[in-house]
Structure 1
Amino acid sequence: RNRKNQAILPLRGKILNVERARFDKMLSSTEIGTMITAFGTGIGRDDFNIEKQRYHKVIIMTDADVDGAHIRTLLLTFFYRQMPELIERGYLYIAQPPLYKASKGKTSIYLKDQSEMDAYLENEGISEAVLELENGEQITGADLRQTLDAGALATQLIQRLQPKADPQVIAQAAIAGALDIEVDQQQLDRAAKRLDRLANEGEDGWSGKLGEEGAIVFSREVRGVREQVILDEDFRSSTDARRLHGMREKLREIYDRPSKYIRKGRETDIHGPVQLLDAVLEEGAKGLSIQRYKGLGEMNPDQLWETTLDPDARTLLQVRVEHADEADDLFTKLMGDVVEPRREFIQANALDAEVDV
C-alpha cells in the first residue's frame, strides 16, 4: 500500500448480519466496532456525523469466491442500514481482485472472474485453429470467432437445461429439430442417429419415440442395461427449450454434419456447439499455467499491489442506490429472518448463479 494515503483495516472472519441483530449486539461486534472507530463518524441516529468521516474512499476488498461474496454482502448490508450517507456521497467502493492468473513463459495476465477466464481461453483456442466442415470448407479467424459466439447462446441454454436431462441428448435433439412441439418420428429418428455418432463402440443403438403425456423418450441398451432419457412436456414447453428449438436452422448450418476442430496438428470431432466450446477451451489452456486464487492472502505483496491496490491499475466499482425501494426489498429478502422469500429468490435465480464447487 501507499502509506501516504492508504490504510488497510483487516477484518477477521464473517461480519455480523446487522439485518437480524439488535443494535446493542451490533455495537458489541469487534469487527463493526473497529470500523466505526476507524471511520470516525460514530454510529446511530443521534451520534452519526458524516462530516467526521476520515476517508472519502472506503473500499470493500474480499476474496473473489463465494465466501468473499457473502462477506461483501454482509458489509454492504451494514453500510446500507447503518451508514447510508457513505453510499449517498459516493464514498463506498468494491475492489475487483482477480480470481485467476494465467502465465505463458514470462508473460502473465490477471483475470477477474470465470467469464474473463473463459474469454481469454477462447481467444487462445481459436488462434491458429481451423473448423473443417465435412464438405471441406474451413472456418478460421474472425469467422471461427463468430461461429463460436453464435453457438454461445445455444450452449448456455443447453447448460441451463442440463439438470433436467443429458446435455448431449438435448443438443442433438435440438439440432435434429426434435424439440418441436409437433415432433414427428422422422425428427426423433434423426436425433437418435446423431446420438449414435457420438456413442462409443458397442454403446450405440439409440432410438426415439413419443411417450405418454407429451413426452419424448430416447433410449438404448448398453451391456444389458436399459438407459432412458425422457424429455417431458414441461421440459419441451419451457422457455429455454423453445428458444433452443428456435435456433435449430442456425445450428444445422454448422453442425448438421460432423466437422473437425484442428489446432497445431490436434483434431477433435465436433457434433454440436457444446463440444466446440469445450474443445476450444481445452486447447486454449494448453501451454498455460493457471493459478486460481482462493483468497487475497495467497497473493504476495507485489501481486496484491498491482492487481488491487495500485490506483493506476486497479478496477473499482462505486456502490450506488438507484432504486431505494428495490434495494430495501432485496436486503430484507436476502438477509432478513423470513426464510420463504429468500428460498423463492434462490429458486428463481439458481440457474444464473456461478457457484464454486
Structure 2
Amino acid sequence: MTDADVDGSHIRTLLLTFFYRHMPALVENNFIYIARPPLFKVTRKKVSQYIHTEKEMDEYLLTLGLSDLSIRRIGEDKPYGKEETATLMQCVSDVESFIGAIERKGIPFREFIGARREGMYPKYQVQIGEAAQFVFSEEELVHFKNENEAVQRRIHEETLSSIPEEEITEEMRQLAPKSLNFLELYDPTRLGELLLRLKEFGLDLDCYLIAEGGLFEVLEEGNDQKTVWHTLEELIDFIRLNGRKGVEVQRYKGLGEMNADQLWDTTMNPEVRTLVRVTLPDAIAADRMFSMLMGEHVEPRRIFIETHALSVKNLDI
C-alpha cells in the first residue's frame, strides 16, 4: 500500500523490484496485491465520496456540471439530449488529452493546426540543424532520411579531401551517419477516430481554440439567462466550473493525511477496498524501469529523460 500520487508510484516500483529480485515465488504465484487508496475526497450536500484518479475526478465534475445545464448548438432548434451531451463532453475531453500529448512534445497546438496542409495534419517533426520542420507522411520522412544521409556523406567526403592522404586512417574513411532526429507526433488511428467523432457534431479540431462566432448556447435550470460560448475549450471549462459549485475537494498527498477511520473505509476494509493483483509482467516492467533509472548504465537513462522530459507534470527541485 502506497500513496495514490506520483511519489507513491515510485515507492511501488521499488517494492515490486525488491519482490521480483529477492522473492520471485511470491510474484510467480500471484501472491502480491496492491491496495488502491483514493487521491481525492469530495463532499457535496454533506455527502462524501472518494475518487481514485485525476481522470475519475474530471468525469465526476463533468457529470455534476451537466446535471442542471442544457446545451444547444447555435443554428439548431433543440438542445442536445442528456446522452448526446455526455458523448460530446467525452469527445471534448479526449480532444484535450490529444492536445496535451502534442504540446508536451514542445509543439503549441495553434502551430500544429496552423501547419495543416490540404486537410492533413503533420505526422512528424524533423530536426534539421537548428530548424524544425513538419512532415506529413512516411514517404516524406524517408525522403528526409535519405537527404540527411546524403548531406552527411558529402560533408564526410569534403572533410577527407581536406586531410593529406597519408594522414587518413581506415577508421577515418568509415562513415557512420547519424540518424535523422525526428519526432512522431501522434497515433494516426487515434486522430482519425477523434476527427470522426467531432464530425458527428459538425465540429473539427479548430473548434477547440479558434472562435468564428458563437458555437454553443447554454441554459441553466431555474435561470432564464442564456450564455453563448465560442470554443470547445470555453464550454468544457464552464461545465467543470459549474460542477465545482457546492463541492468541497480534498486532495490527499499521502496516506499520513488520513485518519485511521478514513484509511479503513477507503483502503483496508475487505468489503469495499480495491485491490490490484500483481502479475509477473508487472514485476518485470518495474524491474526494467528501476534498472534504467537507477542502474549503472547512463545511456538508457539519458534517452529516457530526453524522451519524457516534456511530459513531466510534477517536479521537485
TM-score range, shorter chain: 0.5 to 0.7
2:3 matches 1:63: yes
CA distance, structure 2, for counterparts of residue 249 and residue 90 of structure 1:
41
Q: What secondary structure, in the 3-state scheme, does the structure 2 residue paired with 1:131 have?
A: strand
2:255 matches 1:309: no
Query: What amino acid maps onto 1:278 in structure 2?
Result: D
**Gap change, CA 1:77 and 1:155, over 3 Å in 2:** same
Who is 1:101 aligned against?
41
**TM-aligned CA deviation for residue 68 of structure 1:** 1.6
Query: What amino acid maps onto 2:185 in structure 1?
Result: T
Task: Give the structure-2-normalised TM-score.
Answer: 0.66
2:242 matches 1:283: yes
Who is 1:161 aligned against?
102
CA distance, structure 1, for counterparts of residue 263 and residue 193 of structure 2:
46
**TM-aligned CA deviation for residue 302 of structure 1:** 0.9
Who is 1:225 aligned against?
none
Task: Give the structure-1-normalised TM-score.
Answer: 0.59
For structure 1, which segment, 277-286 or 266-275, has the greater mean C-alpha deviation from structure 2 after superposition? 266-275
Who is 2:24 aligned against?
84
**Gap change, CA 1:156 and 1:323, over 3 Å in 2:** closer
For structure 1, which segment, 92-101 or 234-243, has the greater mean C-alpha deviation from structure 2 after superposition? 234-243
2:287 matches 1:333: no
**Gap change, CA 1:179 and 1:154, over 3 Å in 2:** farther
Who is 1:210 aligned against?
none
Alpha carbons 1:179, 1:241 under 8 Å: kept:
no
Q: How does 1:101-180 map to 2 (within 5 A)?
A: 101-136=41-76, 137-163=78-104, 164-167=106-109, 169=110, 174=113, 178-180=114-116
Q: Which structure is higher in RCO with an 8 Å CA cutoff and minimum separation 6?
A: 2
**TM-aligned CA deviation for residue 159 of structure 1:** 1.5
For structure 1, which segment, 121-130 or 233-242, has the greater mean C-alpha deviation from structure 2 after superposition? 233-242
CA distance, structure 2, for counterparts of residue 159 and residue 76 of structure 1:
30
Alpha carbons 2:40, 2:250 under 8 Å: kept:
yes
Who is 2:185 aligned against?
239
Alpha carbons 1:152, 1:273 under 8 Å: kept:
no
Which of 227, 249, 258 aligns to 1:299? It is: 258
**TM-aligned CA deviation for residue 347 of structure 1:** 4.1
**TM-aligned CA deviation for residue 326 of structure 1:** 5.6
**TM-aligned CA deviation for residue 235 of structure 1:** 7.8
**TM-aligned CA deviation for residue 267 of structure 1:** 5.7
**TM-aligned CA deviation for residue 297 of structure 1:** 1.2
**TM-aligned CA deviation for residue 345 of structure 1:** 2.9
Instruction: Name stretches of at least 5 consecutive residues in structure 1 with no aligned partner.
Output: 1-60, 185-212, 215-230
Paired residues, number:
247
**Gap change, CA 1:86 and 1:248, over 3 Å in 2:** closer
**TM-aligned CA deviation for residue 161 of structure 1:** 1.9
**TM-aligned CA deviation for residue 132 of structure 1:** 1.9
**TM-aligned CA deviation for residue 346 of structure 1:** 4.1
Q: What secondary structure, in the 3-state scheme, does the structure 1 residue paired with 2:84 have?
A: helix
Q: What secondary structure, in the 3-state scheme, does the structure 2 residue paired with 1:314 have?
A: coil
Q: What secondary structure, in the 3-state scheme, does the structure 1 residue paired with 2:280 have?
A: coil
CA distance, structure 2, for counterparts of residue 72 and residue 325 of structure 1:
13
> RMSD across aligned C-alpha pairs, in angstroms?
3.5
Q: What secondary structure, in the 3-state scheme, does the structure 2 residue paired with 1:261 have?
A: strand
**TM-aligned CA deviation for residue 258 of structure 1:** 1.9
Alpha carbons 2:13, 2:287 under 8 Å: kept:
no
**TM-aligned CA deviation for residue 166 of structure 1:** 4.3
CA distance, structure 2, for counterparts of residue 128 and residue 276 of structure 1:
14
Instruction: Name stretches of at least 5 consecutive residues in structure 2 with no aligned partner.
Output: 138-183
CA distance, structure 1, for counterparts of residue 19 and residue 136 of structure 2:
45
**TM-aligned CA deviation for residue 111 of structure 1:** 0.4
Alpha carbons 2:20, 2:284 under 8 Å: kept:
no
**TM-aligned CA deviation for residue 331 of structure 1:** 3.8
**Gap change, CA 1:310 and 1:324, over 3 Å in 2:** closer
CA distance, structure 2, for counterparts of residue 278 and residue 102 of structure 1:
19
Who is 1:228 aligned against?
none
**Gap change, CA 1:85 and 1:304, over 3 Å in 2:** same
Alpha carbons 1:148, 1:273 under 8 Å: kept:
no
**TM-aligned CA deviation for residue 270 of structure 1:** 3.1
Alpha carbons 1:179, 1:236 under 8 Å: kept:
no
